Structures are given as C-alpha cells and as structure tokens.
C-alpha cells in the first residue's frame, strides 16, 4: 500500500520588482535544511545557490526566476515562503555588537527575542530613483543587483578605495539604459568595453550619483530593542539581510 500524499497549499505574494502577484508554495523540510546548513557553514556561494533553488522550486508563477530577482525581492520572497512553511513567528538569540554593550563595556550576554515575519517590510529611501540625471541631456536608468551581483558588491566597501575595481564592475553591470537627448542606448546592445569607457568618462560627482543609487536602494531592515539579561543594558540594533532572520 502506498503512503498518503499530502496536498501542498498555495499562496500569493507581491514583490516590488514584479507587477502581478506571484503564486507560491511553502518549502519542504529538505529545502529548509539545505538553506540552514549553507548559512551555518558560512559558504556564500552555497547560500546563494540554495536560496535561488528554493525560490525557483516554490514560486509557481511563470516567468519568475531567482537569477533575475533583485536581492531585496529575493530576500522578501524567502521570508514569505518561510512564514507559510514553519510559521510567522521566529525566535532569535541576539548578542551585543562586537561584544560590547551600549556603555562600551564587554559583555557576552545573549537575549532571546521573537519577531513576527508579517511585520517585516522593505525600507525604501524617499529620494531613491532608478533614473539618474548626469547632465542636462544625458541620464541613466539603473537596474537592481541580483543576489550574485550583490555578493560581489558586499565585499566592495562603497566608501573604500581598496575595492574600487570590483565596485566599478558591479556598477557597470547594473547600467540598463543610457539616454542622450532623444537617443536611447540599451546596455544589452553594447559591449562591456563600451559601457566601461562610458563610466570611465564620468566626473567624480557623476560617479558619486551612481554610488548613491546602491546606498539608497530598498533593503530588508528591521529595528529591534531589547534588554540584556546579563548586564541589564537597553540595546537597539538593526537586523539586515537573510542571515539575521534565519539564524
């Protein structure tokens, strides 16, 4: 006799970069296990691989590809899928940043907190725009970095000169369209060398505008407050990214 088959429910969610609602299913135990193991192992490449695999497996709507989703939408999609898979409440254990409390005293105290995933929203900067005006006649339309691109950008400090080349490459990859008067130039129709030459021709002020695009783009942030049970200090922290919510 065959074992019973459990029907899997489906749900809908909305993502910032996709116009229509997306139908999805909860992830399976084996899928969650793979992601948690990858995060605990600290292998960035494996985390990216597992995250994209879960998105592609669980999103049932046509045309949804984890390879093309902006990082912030991929993060929100994973949390939405998790909330329908194992519940909206998550238990986290939080410590002091860099092992020091708000009084700058060393403390290894840990605090248990609960977060409702339904309370999480993307933080959107009021002045953020994908359209960047460089001169009176030339402007750029940017596209958001995917998880693959962001993993490269994450290692490139926006304000550091030590990783300028990698940051430069990521910015180049995120240029979508260049407008010059009435002319429209799609980055897909031009070689990487041509796009590199265009970016190299920018002034420092113009290049800074491109960096601001990344600094102000939507992000998965959540502010928390807690009192450490060991030192009794009241603390404030900002959770940022999947790792803070899954581990």
The residue with greater pLDDT, 13 or 46, is 13
The distance of Cα 91 from the centroid of its chain, to the nearest Å, equals 21
pLDDT, tens digit (0-9, with 9 covering 90-100), for 31-76: 888 888 887 887 777 888 888 899 999 999 998 999 999 989 999 9
Instruction: Report the pLDDT averaged over residues 159-163.
Output: 52
* Residue 155 banded pLDDT, cuts 50, 70, 90: low
pLDDT, tens digit (0-9, with 9 covering 90-100), for 167-221: 788 889 999 999 999 999 999 999 999 999 999 999 999 999 998 998 999 999 9
Q: What percent of the chain has pLDDT over 90?
A: 57
Which pTM was predicted? 0.81
Q: Are the beta carbons of 186 and 176 closer than 8 angstroms?
A: yes
Q: Are the beta carbons of 102 and 235 closer than 8 angstroms?
A: yes
Q: Residue 143: what pLDDT? A: 95
Q: Say if strands 11-13 and 22-24 run parallel, antiparallel, or are unpaired.
A: antiparallel
Which of 68, 38, 43 has the alpha carbon at shortest distance from 56?
68
Instruction: Report the pLDDT averaged over residues 94-118.
Output: 92
Q: Residue 152: what pLDDT? A: 67
Instruction: Report the pLDDT averaged over residues 93-116.
Output: 92
> 126: which 2 tokens?
């009021």
Q: Residue 138: what pLDDT? A: 97
Which of 242, 214, 227 has the alpha carbon at shortest distance from 110?
227
Does the pLDDT value for residue 225 go beyond 70? yes
Q: Are the beta carbons of 80 and 93 closer than 8 angstroms?
A: no
Q: For the stretch 227-244, what's the b/e string if a residue is b when 16 or more beta carbons lie within 10 angstroms of its beta carbon?
A: ebeebebebebebeebeb
């Amino acid at each position: 006799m065959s074992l019973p088959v459990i029907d899997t429910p489906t749900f809908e969610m909305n993502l910032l970069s996709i116009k229509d609602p997306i139908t999805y299913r909860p992830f399976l135990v084996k899928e969650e296990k793979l992601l948690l193991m990858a995060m605990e192992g600290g292998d960035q490449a494996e985390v990216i691989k597992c995250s994209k695999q879960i998105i592609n497996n669980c999103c049932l709507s046509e045309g949804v590809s984890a390879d093309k989703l902006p990082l912030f939408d991929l993060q929100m999609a994973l949390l939405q899928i998790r909330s329908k898979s194992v519940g909206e409440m998550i238990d986290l254990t939080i410590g002091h940043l860099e092992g020091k409390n708000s009084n700058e005293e060393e403390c290894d105290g840990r605090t248990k907190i609960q977060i409702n995933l339904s309370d999480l929203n993307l933080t959107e900067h009021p002045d953020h725009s994908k359209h960047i005006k460089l001169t009176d006649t030339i402007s750029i339309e940017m596209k958001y970095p995917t998880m693959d691109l962001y993993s490269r950008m994450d290692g490139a400090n926006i304000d550091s000169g030590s990783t300028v080349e990698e940051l430069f490459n990521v910015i180049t990859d995120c240029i979508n369209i260049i407008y010059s008067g009435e002319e429209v130039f799609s980055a897909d129709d031009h070689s990487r060398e041509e796009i590199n030459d265009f970016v190299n021709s920018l002034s420092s002020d113009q290049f800074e505008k491109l960096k601001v695009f990344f600094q102000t783009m939507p992000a998965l942030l959540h502010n928390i407050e807690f009192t450490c049970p060991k030192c009794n200090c009241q603390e404030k922290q900002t959770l940022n990214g999947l790792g803070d919510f899954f581990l």
